[in-house]
Structure 1
Amino acid sequence: MIDGIGARGSQSSLREANSAAVVEAVRQYGQITQVELAAVTGLSPATVSNLVKTLQSAGVVQTTATVRSGRRAQAVSLVRSSDLSVGVHIGRRRVEVIVADASWTVNANQHLPLPLDHRDDTTLDRIALLVGELTEQVGASLDDVAAVGLTMPGVGGAAYETLTGWEQLDVADQLTRILGRRVLAVPEVAAAAVAEARYGALRGVGSALVVRASSTTTSSLLVGGQPLQGLGVAAGALGHVSADPAGRICRCGARGCLNTVASHLALADLLRVTHGPLSLRAIVQRANDGDPGCRQVVSHAATAIGTAIADAATLLAPERICLTGALTATGDLFTDAVRAVLRTRPLLPSGEGFVVVGECEDAEARGALAVASDGMDPLRNRER
């Protein structure tokens, strides 16, 4: 609705609807300028300015001076609420937990290393303790937690993609029982995509293909800042497109999937004779330290992943490609190889800005938190 053109009902109802649109945009983006608010809501800058003043007087939002593109601007954010959100990312070798308020300010966070093939009961108990400790750290309790988002390997995908020994466990349900708070499960790549759209490399981008290159490769298509929901476990499974028709049998049962040539297991297998068993983190670190073998396998993986991205981008025509995941920590070694493949496709954009690298630290945990908090109403318990 734009400034009441063709509006039905009273002016007060229209103003309430426009106020709700402004608050929703601020909640989604955490902090956003008034110019950006006008763009995302379709309201005029003057209307946005008046609504922000009213909401500020009501104690719903606050403004701070900032700089955008070298110009002064007023950034709008929600006033801190007693409602907290928690984001949890259970990885193969570590867990991240973050606690944030309604203004998207991360008030506390903690990383915890995990042993290989860690047990579900022990890990979930540790997470529950961490959540309790972090909420106490910010002067709150579990009663103040309104939303908990969880992401981990296998969520939203096939059971064989999840952590070893966790295949039959409904992790969100189990953690809900332990915490006494509803837990929403989000696929890892979708969580990372939402984080980048809300306050990372994809702010203001209409559509993007987000590719998470880590232990395996997954993807998510963002449209209007939201991941498209697929029709089954294969949605976004970029790691299961064919990369070598005569290659190895994948865990999914197909032959030569991308994950058979560009996953952690595939890279570690190539290095096993000369380097012994290596974690993905060790491969990335050694590649950054100049180890020739580790640099070779990362470059090989990037080329294979880049080919799959090029095929997907040719079909879907996103405005941006966003690379996330552990392999991007090797910097130009990985990203330059992906860009080199994309440059061979005449139908794809050739500008440097077409491929971006994710900017959000702990993107999976932050994105899971964001998705879980989407059901929170910043206007509740306030007088209208």
Structure 2
Amino acid sequence: MNTGPRPGSPSGLRDANRRRVLDAVRVGGAPTQAEIAGATGLAPATVSNIVRDLGAAGLLSAGDEVRAGRRVRAVRLVRGAGMVAGIDVGHRHLRVALADVADPAAAAGHPGPPGRSELRADLPDYHGVAEGLATAASLIDEALAQVGVRREALRGAVVGLPAPVDRATGAVGASGVLPGWVGVPVAGRVSEHLGIPSWVDNDATLGTLAEQRWGALRGIRDGVFLKLSDGVGAGLVLDGRLYRGPDGTAGEIGHVAVDPGDRHAAVCRCGHRGCLETVVSTRTVTALLEPLLGAPLTVADMVARAHDGDAPARRVLADTGHHVGAALAGFCTVLTPRRIVVGGELAQAGDFLLAPLHAALEAAALPGTTRTADVVVAELAEHAPVLGAVALALDRATTAP
């Protein structure tokens, strides 16, 4: 399985309606079916059918109660209905988070993400699927043990990967940061390994979903989420909807050429020269300062040096922001986003990165198209991709037949 039905299809509409009913129950606590219909705008008969179906799935229960002297039939979430797992696979790390499907904070539009157990582990460069899945399973078991829940309680998992993901097959595209995962139908492998329904998506897309649901993109109809880490990607919100493109690979801004005419520009892993990722990935950016220090450097080290007034660190971060802003200018001219959210490791640089980024946008985009575009740091920080995986897992595991 992959990312599920397409929006607008009959199954997509069914799933969207189920999510609306679940969110209404999460927010309302124990609403009546009439109150659910009022909150969602769905017909009473549609609500009744969905409540029946989700009751059969073990997610909702309906029972008679007396309120204000009259008997009503209240709908509640079933406590202990199960957990979902989000798995964020990075170039050198793997992060896992669990969430209870009955957590009221799981509702879309809630001011914060659901309570969760989250664990992280380091991975070696160029790790493969077998090592990644073994680490994910180990972290999931550890997280389940922390909350006192058995593996059988898991209803589904979503894996986020720093690579384009084929929407139809769930296979990792050839330009992915993780060569050991290329061409692998990851969702199927996860399902086999964990014994639960699983889905896979791009990590920047999942970060966008998390920021849209619980972070800096809440209420934003048109926005961009940038993930600036070892890999560079973007997620798009257009007219209030997460946009993946027809094949699920929209947002690969890391492969926008920033200097296509330079025959000496670095060769990107996609095979082209001068891609944005070749000049702003964390590995490239830190490597610019390491010769001056004679030692390996992390992004956190570089940001600390910038705060201490170190001129080379500030220059590298400013140049990085300029490159990103110049690459984003085309996005702004065409899509006129109202907010640009910067996430990933480089987001911790704050204004050292964002100020030159915004200046480059103003200089390169069509005049007026960036006037109303905020440039802000992701509210969910490095947790955005794994929380997006949790959000998608909540959606899929609670709406699947």
- The residue that corresponds to 2:258 in the other structure is 243
- Indicate whether 1:341 and 2:360 are aligned: yes
Q: The residue matched to 2:181 in structure 1 has which SS? A: coil
Tell me the secondary structure at the aligned position of residue 181 of structure 1: coil
Unaligned runs of 5+ in 2: 1-14, 43-59, 64-75, 107-113, 166-171
What SS does the aligned partner of 1:100 have?
strand
Pairwise CA distance, 1:24: 4.4
Is 1:317 the counterpart of 2:317 in the alignment? no
Secondary structure in 2 matching 1:186: strand
Distance in 1 of aligned mates of 2:368 and 2:291: 41
CA distance in structure 1 between the partners assigned to 2:339 and 2:396 by the alignment: 28
- Tell me the alpha carbon deviations over residues 59-79 of structure 1, each in whole angstroms, 9 at most, x when there is no partner: 8xxxxxxxxxxxxxxxxx967
How many residues are aligned here?
336
Task: Give 2:391's aligned residue.
Answer: 370
Q: Does residue 119 of structure 2 align to residue 110 of structure 1?
A: yes
Alignment partners' CA distance in 1, 2:339 and 2:397: 29
Deviations 1:44-87 (Å, cap 9, x if unpaired)? xxxxxxxxxxxx9948xxxxxxxxxxxxxxxxx96755221111
Tell me the distance in 2 between the aligned counterparts of 1:24 and 1:233.
Answer: 26
The amino acid that maps onto 1:297 is V
CA distance in 2, matches of 1:40, 1:308: 41
Secondary structure of the 2:233 match is strand
Partners of 2:160 and 2:201 within 8 A in 1: yes
Q: Secondary structure at the match of 1:123?
A: helix
- Structure 1 counterpart of 2:321: 302
Q: Would you say 1:210 and 2:225 are equivalent positions?
A: yes
**Among 114, 120, 124, which residue is 2:133 paired with?**
124
Q: 1:242 and 1:23 mapped to 2: Cα distance?
A: 44
Out of 271, 274, 294, the position equivalent to 2:292 is: 274
**Partner residue, 2:273:** 255
Structure 2 letter corresponding to 1:235? A
Are the counterparts in 1 of residues 226 and 341 from structure 2 also a CA contact under 8 Å? Answer: yes
Amino acid at match of 1:347: G
- Pairing of 1:131-170 with structure 2 (within 5 A): 131-156=140-165, 158-170=173-185
2:378 to 358, 361, 365: 358
Contact 1:208 1:223 in 2 (8 A): yes
Which runs of 5 or more residues in structure 1 are unaligned? 1-16, 44-55, 60-76
1:117–1:300 distance in 2 versus 1, CA, 3 Å: same
* TM superposition shift of 1:312: 0.6
Partner AA of 2:392 in structure 1:
V
Q: Say if 1:96 and 1:111, in contact at 8 Å, map to a contact too.
A: yes
- The answer (yes or no) to whether the contact 1:158–1:233 under 8 Å persists in 2 is no
Q: Which residue of 1 aligns with 2:85?
A: 86
- Summarize deviations over 1:250-280 as a string: whole Å, max 9, x none: 2222222112222234324423422344344
Give the secondary-structure state (helix, strand or coil) at the position aligned to 2:275: coil
Displacement of 1:232: 4.5
Q: Which amino acid aligns with 2:196?
A: R
Q: TM-score, normalised by structure 1?
A: 0.75
Report deviation, 1:107.
Answer: 3.3
Contact 2:61 2:78 in 1 (8 A): no
CA separation of 1:253 and 1:107: change in aligned 2, threshold 3 A = closer
Residue 46 of structure 1 aligns with which residue? none
Q: State the Cα distance separating 1:379 from its structure 2 match.
A: 12
Q: Are positions 1:177 and 2:192 aligned together?
A: yes
Partners of 2:198 and 2:400 in 1: CA distance: 22
CA distance in structure 1 between the partners assigned to 2:28 and 2:90 by the alignment: 31
- 1:230-252 Cα deviation digits (max 9, x unpaired): 24475211111121121333222
How far apart in 2 are the matches of 1:126 and 1:189?
21
Superposed displacement of residue 39, structure 1? 12
* 2:141 alignment partner AA: G
Change (3 A) 1:250 1:92: closer
In structure 2, C-alpha distance between the alignment counterparts of 1:188 and 1:117, rounded to whole Å:
17
Structure 1 residue 375 displacement after superposition = 2.3
Q: Identify the residue that residue 66 of structure 1 maps to in structure 2.
A: none
Offset of residue 145 of structure 1: 0.9
After alignment, is 172-181 or 191-200 more displaced?
A: 172-181
- Whether the 8 Å contact between 1:198 and 1:225 is mirrored in structure 2 is no
Distance 2:235 2:115 in 1: 25
Superposition deviation, residue 290 in structure 1: 4.3
Counterparts of 1:44-83 in structure 2, within 5 Å, are 58=62, 80-83=79-82
**Residue equivalent to 1:197:** 212
* Amino acid in the other structure paired with 2:355: D
Question: Counterpart of 1:299 in structure 2: which amino acid?
Answer: A
Q: Do the aligned residues in 2 keep the contact of 1:153 with 1:163 (CA within 8 Å)?
A: yes
Q: Which amino acid aligns with 2:214?
A: Y
Please tell me the root mean square deviation across aligned C-alpha atoms, in Å: 3.7
Moved more, 161-170 or 294-303: 161-170
